[in-house]
Amino acid sequence: MTSQNAVLQRTGAQLEISGLSKRFGPDAPLVLDNVNLSVERGEFVALLGASGCGKSTLLNLVAGLEEPTAGELKAPEAAFMFQDAALFPWLSAQANVELALELRGVGRQERAERARELLELVHLGGAGKKRPHELSGGMRQRVALARSLAQSRELLLMDEPFAALDAITRDLLHDELERIWHRTGRTIIFITHNVREAVRLGQRVLLMSSRPGRIVAEWNVGDGLDPRDRAGLAGEITTELRREIRRHAA
């Protein structure tokens, strides 16, 4: 485990956050306080913390959906994937993906071909004509992932995208996301409250304190970590997370 200062000591950063703070209104309490973070191109970072600690607010700031109260933030344009797939129910899976391409100005023939390629990438090549109500929860999230990739942004922000899924489906999507990350080279920031999920997916796991949210600890997850070491790391992180939750409850 390393301290917050170590989070800043990185080169080739694609995302840089320095002294970032956020409050909603002049008399409101701080939601985020002095957040410092650097993420390198192509890195997969899992952001962990108790409910209400400001994880989603931080992602909204990175995406440009909110303005910071203080501090500096440099980030490329980002695609966003939420817990709810938020597909248009009257459109087919392919049409939902094509819509993201149309908004980028991609022509009709090219966007149809590209949407088919993206659905193939998420292993939904045969489901393009199906509407959301005909798809399982996991399949809908795959369509949402394909739609996020269609935006062709270097940074992908994922806000607990698998939280509502059953454990088996979630594990399958972990494998799929890891495969797609390796294939596309996207930079990913993945929010979760599930320690096992964070250790399974992240190259780095960052822990946020309860409000006001700060990054208080960092763990580097080595490639090829064997299951026993991974379980031990998850146990260590769980201990720190529980400590933060107790501080908030006190």
The pLDDT tens digits for 47-69 are 998 888 899 999 999 999 999 99
Residues in the chain with pLDDT < 70? 1-12, 224, 248-250
* Residue 94 β-bridge partners: none
Give the three-state DSSP class for 79. Answer: strand
Residue 103 CA to residue 116 CA, distance in Å, equals: 17
Amino acid code (one letter) for 248: H
| Residue ranges of domains in the chain | 4-77+154-249, 86-152
Distance, C-alpha 72 to centroid of its chain: 21
CATH 3.40.50.300 fits 4-77+154-249, yes or no: yes
Query: Token pair for residue 159?
Result: 């806000």
Identify any residues that bridge with 189 across adjacent strands, giving them in sequence order. Answer: 45, 157
Cα separation values, 135 from 115, 127, 131, 141, 165, Å: 17, 8, 7, 10, 13
Query: pTM for this one?
Result: 0.90
Check if the beta carbon of residue 100 is closer than 8 Å to that of residue 150. yes
Strands 155-159 and 70-74: unpaired
Tell me phi and psi for residue 86, to 5 degrees: 55, 45
pLDDT at 229: 82
